Structure 1
Amino acid sequence: MLKRSKGLAYTLLYNRFMVWLIVLLVGAGYVILRAVDGIFYLNFRRLMSGVVHDASRDSLTVVRKAQVSHLFRRKYKLKKIRMELAGGSYWMSIPVIVTGIGRDKNERKYMGKIIDDASVLKHRYMTLMRNLGAMASGAGLTFDEHADAKDMVEYERDSLMRLKDQGVAVPEVFGVHRLNDGDYMLVMEFVEGKPLSKVELSEGIVEQVFATLKTMHEKGVFHGDVKLDNFLFDGRCLVVVDCLKIQEADMQKAQDFDLICAICALAQKVPVPKVVELALKYHSGEELRRSCGLIGIALNKVDLDLPEDKVDAIVDMLGPEDLAPLPEAAS
């Protein structure tokens, strides 16, 4: 009975008319709350984002724990397996740290991401919200949906492997495994580091963010979801841990989106003039100005908490055409 009810719920939520109806209602509510916040200096929009974020998080059920334990015993030859949810901001997958004893009697740690039908559904709604915002702002940027959980997990695997081939620091991928009919797990190297949201951001770390994006963009790769929790710092270098799907025809816009998201994310913890100064070491003034045209979409990210004064500072430095030209990136 429970399985049938769950199936009916997914059928309704996947219905194209229902999807657009919910997206339009949520989008309208978001716009209204943003206007109210701007007039009365309240935080209703952030509260709404937090409620949606928390409500959509998944958990490690007893069944999932059993499936993961079976997988790591069979494929990775682990014993005495323990697992815990990873920290940070997540809601489109279930990140799990798996620890156990290997054949050599030494402790082994792996990072796993469980992706299921709920992940695909949440990704679909998020994608439509972003595309709606992009259309409203005339950004000409189109995010793509995933067909199913298998497509979603394989895309993330392939993106990480492609980045690694291009010299970008990413976790090593060990494999994709099916846990049951609709659940998959991406197993990766566990990186002993902290997300940038938990790290004091030095000039060197900020430079690494822009240098990493520059390398990715030069190789025709984009990130698509730049935020502090999607970069880990292991004490020496940054590690990229996530990517989103976008239409290939929009590559320049995608790179602009990466850049403005990086500027906004870093500006949460670093003064805006310093962020722009360090960005200019790797990206031209023209690129920074162009990226500012997408700031409206970047500000709608649920994981971004940027005060209005910092938004104004970014727009003042990068937006108006009549400002003094920004210097070019260092060669």
Structure 2
Amino acid sequence: MELRRLVRGRVDWPDLERVVRELADRYDRDELRVRFLDADNWLSTPMVVDDDLFVKVITKQNTLVHTLFTTGRNLGAFSAGTEGFFERYETPFEMARHELEATERIRELGVNAPEPIEAFEVGDLGVVVLEYLPEFRTLDELDREHDRTLAPDLFGTLRTVHDAGLAHGDLRAENVLIRDDEIYFIDATNVSAAGREDARSYDLASALAALEPLIGPAAAIDAALASYSIEELLAASRFLDFVAIRPDHEFDAAGLKGELGKRATTDVDRGSDSTGSSWP
């Protein structure tokens, strides 16, 4: 956590006061109740305003850290035998605007996500404002049976995003929120249009990696096969080693590969048609 705080940096209090004053003016509120979140977030300073707005303040340092992450992720993509597909941002406002636009696109598909409100600049800071979702839990905060029940919905939601030609790019348990037994996607990242097919395979590998420690490899693959074919899962498996080296994923990559190998062999022996549909 201390390293995270150091890398993330801090927003000086006068700058935060300017952001809060700007929010008060924009939403015509005389006083604001602000609660800062001690979230494990490298790329912004998050806060809740009046229990109805979720606000992220993005600094130049956050943008620089994102660029470093993007370089590392693209090197990882190269190691999986594909071109890098993650894209970086030039300014804090560009980061804020992308998150707003990505959330808008996801919601247009009928996928649950916080309502996007606006993105703006205060000095050299980027600010994105979203609906605050109270009383949610992340995927890894549920019990095993609850996760097993929701796992097919997770892949079904991901299938909706992929069939629309989009990709999430940063799918992990912390970015899957559960509220009233419904799945919400947050924090989609920026991937290139040319690399979206590979990015979708990476999404699928990340979803398997997120679920494996929660429900086991067999149940995770069962859930994925409700929406994806075994061929699509095998294509995604080449990204598992890349996902495994990320510090925000801890899972049994060998167990997933072994289970996928067994499923593929069974599928060939049965001569059955593939489950799911292939994305464009």
Normalised TM-score (structure 1): 0.76
The Cα offsets for residues 215-266 of structure 1, whole Å up to 9 and x where unpaired, read as: 0001111100001111111123111111111111111111100000010011
1:118 aligns with 2:61: yes
Q: Is the 8 A contact 1:88 1:195 kept in 2?
A: no
Amino acid at match of 1:271: G
Alignment match, 2:111: 168
The residue that corresponds to 2:214 in the other structure is 269
> Is 1:72 aligned with 2:23?
yes
**From 250, 254, 257, the counterpart of 1:315:** 257
Query: What's the CA shift for 1:79?
Result: 3.7
State how far apart, in whole Å, the 2-side matches of 1:223 and 1:299 are.
Answer: 18
Aligned runs of 1:1-331 on 2, under 5 Å? Answer: 52-59=3-10, 61-86=12-37, 88-99=39-50, 108-180=51-123, 182-192=124-134, 193-200=136-143, 201-306=146-251, 310-319=252-261, 323-325=265-267, 328-329=274-275
**Alpha-carbon distance in 2 for matches of 1:253, 1:330:** 18
Output one character per residue of 1:31-82: Cα deviation in whole Å (capped at 9) or x when no partner: xxxxxxxxxxxxxxxxxxx775343234454224312320221011224322
Bigger Cα displacement from structure 2, 317-326 vs 277-286? 317-326
Alpha-carbon deviation of 1:87? 5.2
Which sections of structure 1, spanning at least 5 residues, go unmatched?
Answer: 1-49, 100-107
Distance change >3 Å, CA 72–CA 54, structure 1 → 2? closer
> How far apart are 1:199 and its partner, in Å?
2.4
C-alpha root-mean-square deviation of aligned residues, in Å? 2.2
Instruction: In structure 2, list runs of 5 or more residues that go unmatched.
Output: none
Decide which structure has the larger Cα Rg and report it.
1
Distance 2:2 2:16 in 1: 26
Contact 2:85 2:198 in 1 (8 A): no
| Contact in 2 for aligned 1:142/1:247 (Cα 8 Å) | yes
Provide Cα deviations, 1:84-120, integer angstroms capped at 9, x if missing partner: 2335431112221111xxxxxxxx5210111121111
Aligned length: 270
Q: Secondary structure at the match of 2:223?
A: helix
SS at match of 1:269: helix
| Percent pairwise identity | 22
Q: Residues of 2 paired with 1:291 and 1:227: CA distance?
A: 15
TM-score, normalization by structure 2:
0.88
